[in-house]
Structure 1
Amino acid sequence: MNESVVESLNDWFIAAEHAANRSSWTVRSFNGKTVGVAVPAFYTNDKSGTRMFFDADHGKRLTDALDDMVAKNTDLVFLEGFTDMAENASYWRSTDNTFYDFPNQRLNILRKYSSNKAWPESLRIEMEACDKFFDISKNNSGNQYRTGDLDVAKVANVASDKNTEWYVTHTEPGEWLEWKELPYAAGNVTIKVCYAAKADAKIRFDFGEGTQRRQGPVVELPATGGEWTTVDAFTMKCDVNGWRRTLLNIVAGQPDLNYFTITVEK
């Protein structure tokens, strides 16, 4: 193609281990436009058997690439392999513990570099998508969504043309769900919980780690007759934008947990 009609170009990424210009990301300017491409990791061989491998390096490979693109004022970024699980280049949630430190790691990195979504005014957090959990009973009683001991079931009566929804079920006092990092924007933050319970229950949120750990109040969850309902759990003030470890503890009862939302008033 004649370069006079090409708006922009990029060199893609070069994964062959013998390549002198080997890199998991590239940035190229052409015709006044700067385009970048990156993979968070990569693991496969080419047709001749040459090994092509980039370790995720605990998320550093992707953040280094995105930092470089931000510094170079890149106009357009291609995230190669967005759903490419086979080559370890996917960006979705994963329970892989070899190239992921925790399930939401790569999704969180993308959130941090999103100019208008990094600090959302409202964010919905799915219970079944937690990074870590403690479940007293063995196996997944609902046999849905993920492997392991977390009990996950499908929400009933979801239209076939809509996304399937799941929820955490068969909870017990002493169990907990953990998210390694969630974005909390500065301002008055309200936590709302969507749940269903046949009898009264109680939960508690904790935030942060070590000396910075903050324990929230015990939240009463009245019986709902098994119907889904949403309650304001509590409101807290965040002085600055920050990513915080978040735990949801089952204090009493056996509530079914669908999701919670983090909403900020600035």
Structure 2
Amino acid sequence: MAHAKRGPRSRRWLPIGAAVAAAALWWSVPTTGWGAGATAAAPAASVVDTGGSVLSHRDSADTGALGVTFGFEDRTIAGGPYVNQSNQIYNLPMYDATTGSSEDFWLDYVEELVSSGVDFVAVDTRGYVPGSSVPNEGGDPRALTGLVAAINKAGDAGKLKIAAFDDTPASMTDKKNQIKHKTGGYSPTFDMSDTTGAGEGGHQYLWDNDLKAFYQAVPDNLLYKVNGQPLVYLWSDNDFAFANQGNGNSANLLKYVRSQAQSQFNENPYFVTDQSWITNDSAVSQVANGQDGWFGVPDPKYTNMTLNGASFGATVPSFHFVSGSSNMVIDPDHGQTFVNGLANTVGKNDLITLVEGFSDWSENAALWRTKSADYATTQRDYPNQNINILRRYSKTPFPATLTVQAESADSVSDTTPTNTLGKYRDDALDVETTGDSGGGWDVGAIATGEWEQWNELPMQGTEDLKVRVATPLTGAQLRFVVDGVAGPTINVPTTGGWQTWQTIDAGTFQFTAGTSHTVRLEYVNGGLNANWWQATAS
């Protein structure tokens, strides 16, 4: 929005009489602490909160890595249409991708992934058709430059790494049939014994038209590595899409990809294959570094597979595909299915646990922040539920610094019935693109009495709270209320503009060790923008 209009907009929330009274309050200047550039004084004493919940989380003895798959189909990046045959879609995202660009899409999901605490995101690569535009369809690894750019813009290169999850039936069989027969699909099947592509195979489909492009798009410093080797998952090579997998044929394909990665990029892939690879070709056990059993519908909801003395876990938070004769359902059970899966993979100290699937809306397995709606609509108790569960089983269930984006709230109270600024979400919260460093969004047009609230946030011991704010006005005030316990009311200094940002102290709380909390950020007096807030352990 044009920020020159922000002053007049402050009156649009109230009848004329009320607006006059509000203006008198907003524009009255307190006697101290409100000059340009001033910072609000931190309270002298901590607020003691003995409430909160004790939730299960990773034990410090469990040191394995945690990652998630991530599909980036064209529909997902564009914000729909969210249609998969007649299957009902529950887990629609809070982030409204139709209000932004593909760059915005990646920037939001980098924030969500970092908030979840995962070690890596395993992107679903599906190859590309040579000579096609970028991207040519969902899973084109050439499009991953957008993810790389977002990680760097957000300053998160030290927090989030990238692995490949190769959808082998799509990258090999389907792409071969698109190129060779102009049809796509899984018939004819892919012939693993054909190394050149003279028949119905060809090593180039997995390497030249897929993983090579992955390494071209993702620089070495952003690759997730196990023992110095970049992690690559490979999905099924079963008979529905492949033929002649045995006699060392599948193993030879992996050897070829490894040799090409080493010679062209000096990378030695750490292959974790679906168990079908070793079942169909025992020689793969001498080439692969690990194997996983994926999950079943309805069971098993998690698996642990061992290879070379290490255990590899896989799990899923939920699943729902009901269409025609298909009736495949894993009940999320208010998050308990996911907690149980992580407790039996991460909690069993698997070397690596992979979770399906951060953006898998089409099968209702998504982990992303969902729309703010009731359980019957979303199958989530609140929008950030799966992100919070992931963080509980990450290596930092109680992060030293917890950063929470203002636009990400689980519930809100806003004086307007719709998002008047038109970005990020389609409910009442007023969200706009921010000009603050790192990009993203902020909550704007904040009026007196509005608030945002988050559920089950991990804070323990002494936590210092800070808020990132911007306002050209004087008179704005805010406070935190945690588990119903109010912190100090903070006078927000004028920062000089609606997009001139300053971080202010907002009080210190003391919490019981190992607890999670309901946090409400209340705007006692409006007339400001808010970008994010942080809780930092003292």
Tell me the distance in 2 between the aligned counterparts of 1:172 and 1:251: 9
State the SS of the aligned residue for 1:91: coil
- Select 1:175's aligned residue among 450, 455, 460: 450
For the 8 Å contact 2:457–2:516, the answer to whether it is kept is yes
Answer yes or no: is 1:59 the counterpart of 2:335: yes
- Select 1:133's aligned residue among 399, 412, 425: 412
Answer yes or no: is 1:110 the counterpart of 2:390: yes
- The residue type equivalent to 1:59 in the other structure is G
Tell me the distance in 1 between the aligned counterparts of 2:476 and 2:347: 50
What residue in structure 2 maps to residue 262 of structure 1? 535
- Select 2:492's aligned residue among 215, 221, 225: 221
State the SS of the aligned residue for 2:358: coil
Tell me the distance in 2 between the aligned counterparts of 1:44 and 1:167: 35
Alpha-carbon spacing, 1:197–1:177, altered in 2? closer, same or farther (3 Å):
same
What residue in structure 1 maps to residue 511 of structure 2? 238
Tell me the distance in 2 between the aligned counterparts of 1:239 and 1:11: 39
Answer yes or no: is 1:119 the counterpart of 2:398: yes
What residue in structure 2 maps to residue 75 of structure 1? 351
1:24-35 alignment to 2 at 5 Å? Answer: 24-35=301-312
Give the superposition deviation at 1:246.
Answer: 0.2
- Select 2:296's aligned residue among 14, 29, 36: 14
Tell me the distance in 1 between the aligned counterparts of 2:357 and 2:526: 43
Alpha-carbon spacing, 1:154–1:68, altered in 2? closer, same or farther (3 Å):
same
What residue in structure 2 maps to residue 94 of structure 1? 370
- Larger fraction in strand: 1
Cα distance per residue 1:133-157 (max 9 Å; x no partner)? 0111121011100111110011137
- The residue type equivalent to 1:53 in the other structure is V
- The residue type equivalent to 1:34 in the other structure is S
Tell me the distance in 2 between the aligned counterparts of 1:71 and 1:8: 19
Q: Which ranges in structure 1 are unaligned for 5 or more consecutive residues? A: none
For the 8 Å contact 1:121–1:185, the answer to whether it is kept is no
State the SS of the aligned residue for 1:58: helix
Tell me the distance in 1 between the aligned counterparts of 2:368 and 2:345: 21
Q: Which ranges in structure 2 are unaligned for 5 or more consecutive residues? A: 1-280
Moved more, 33-42 or 48-57: 48-57
Give the superposition deviation at 1:45.
Answer: 5.2
Tell me the distance in 2 between the aligned counterparts of 1:72 and 1:112: 15
Q: Which has the higher contact order (CA 8 A, sep 6+)?
A: 2
Tell me the distance in 1 between the aligned counterparts of 2:359 and 2:482: 31
State the SS of the aligned residue for 1:195: strand
- The residue type equivalent to 1:178 in the other structure is Q
Give the superposition deviation at 1:194.
Answer: 0.7
Give the superposition deviation at 1:9.
Answer: 2.3
For the 8 Å contact 2:449–2:526, the answer to whether it is kept is no
Answer yes or no: is 1:195 the counterpart of 2:195: no
Give the superposition deviation at 1:244.
Answer: 0.6
TM-score, normalised to structure 1's length?
0.87
Give the superposition deviation at 1:130.
Answer: 0.5
State the SS of the aligned residue for 2:489: strand
- The residue type equivalent to 2:463 in the other structure is V
Give the superposition deviation at 1:164.
Answer: 4.0
Answer yes or no: is 1:43 the counterpart of 2:320: yes
Give the superposition deviation at 1:36.
Answer: 1.1
State the SS of the aligned residue for 1:61: helix
Give the superposition deviation at 1:185.
Answer: 3.0
Tell me the distance in 2 between the aligned counterparts of 1:173 and 1:71: 45
For the 8 Å contact 2:423–2:431, the answer to whether it is kept is yes
Q: CA RMSD in A?
A: 2.0
Alpha-carbon spacing, 1:53–1:243, altered in 2? closer, same or farther (3 Å):
same
State the SS of the aligned residue for 1:217: coil
Give the superposition deviation at 1:131.
Answer: 0.4
- The residue type equivalent to 1:254 in the other structure is G
Tell me the distance in 2 between the aligned counterparts of 1:248 and 1:197: 17
For the 8 Å contact 1:120–1:185, the answer to whether it is kept is no
Tell me the distance in 1 between the aligned counterparts of 2:436 and 2:523: 26
What residue in structure 1 maps to residue 53 of structure 2? none
Give the superposition deviation at 1:71.
Answer: 4.5
- The residue type equivalent to 2:495 in the other structure is T
For the 8 Å contact 1:42–1:89, the answer to whether it is kept is yes
Give the superposition deviation at 1:30.
Answer: 3.4
Tell me the distance in 2 between the aligned counterparts of 1:72 and 1:170: 47
Cα distance per residue 1:24-57 (max 9 Å; x no partner)? 22122333221111111112258x8422111211
- Larger fraction in helix: 2
Give the superposition deviation at 1:7.
Answer: 3.3
